[in-house]
Amino acid sequence: MRDTFALTTVVLLLVSVALAQSPGETVFTQHCVACHGSDLAGHTAFGRKANIPDLRASVVQSRSDNDLIASIGRGEGHKEYPHGFLSRGLSIVQIKTLITYIRSMSTVTAPVKK
Ligand code: HEC
């Protein structure tokens, strides 16, 4: 009986760890959260100074995946902070998982173009 309980506890723990973070969220936590904040709203010290947009809002969500890849991966259109993470250690697969994560956090209710 005690063994069953211990095993169940271990299984539940593993499941909760696996569910806790998507791959995109993990990359986001490592490379983006310092400025964009864990809720993606950009209410960080640097965010307030540099006027970071809310990544959940339509200003970002309405942009196509290719646009966001160009923005995050190659830094296109940035003035305040040189994104361009493709030449700073992230792969295209990681950039795409980031975009999936950013879209999963969207607060936009109207359909967005992809
Ligand atoms: C050092 C702070 C900082 C870090 C780290 C950072 N950003 Fe940003 N981000 C900014 C600022 C400032 C802006 C406002 C636009 C600019 O750069 O001029 C921005 C804007 C953006 C935008 C909107 C750009 C647009 O073209 O509309 C996206 C999307 C974005 N960041 C994604 C990311 C992702 C994903 C990461 C992590 C891989 C990241 N950022 C890391 C500071 C940062």
Say if CB 39 and CB 28 are below 8 A apart. no
Among 7, 31, 26, 38, which residue's Cα sits nearest to residue 81?
31
Burial of 72 (0-12, 13-18, 19+ CB in 10 A): buried
* Top-tier CATH class for 21-104: mainly alpha
Between helix 92-104 and helix 65-74 the angle, nearest 10°, is 120
51 HSE (CA, 13 A, CB side): 3
Q: How many CB atoms are closer than 10 A to CB 56?
A: 20
Residue 57 confidence (pLDDT): 97
pTM: 0.84
- Ranges 9-13, 81-85, 99-103, 110-114: which has the least confidence: 110-114
Is the per-residue pLDDT at 56 higher than 70? Answer: yes
Reported as a single tens digit per residue, the pLDDT across 34-50 is 999 999 999 999 998 99
Q: Of 109 and 107, which is predicted with more confidence?
A: 107
83, 95, 96: residue to mutate for ligand 1 pocket, most atoms within 8 A of CB: 83
Q: What is the mean pLDDT of the chain?
A: 90
User: Does ligand 1 have an atom closer than 6 angstroms to the CB of 48?
Assistant: no
User: Does ligand 1 have an atom closer than 6 angstroms to the CB of 78?
Assistant: yes
Average confidence (pLDDT) over 44-69 = 95
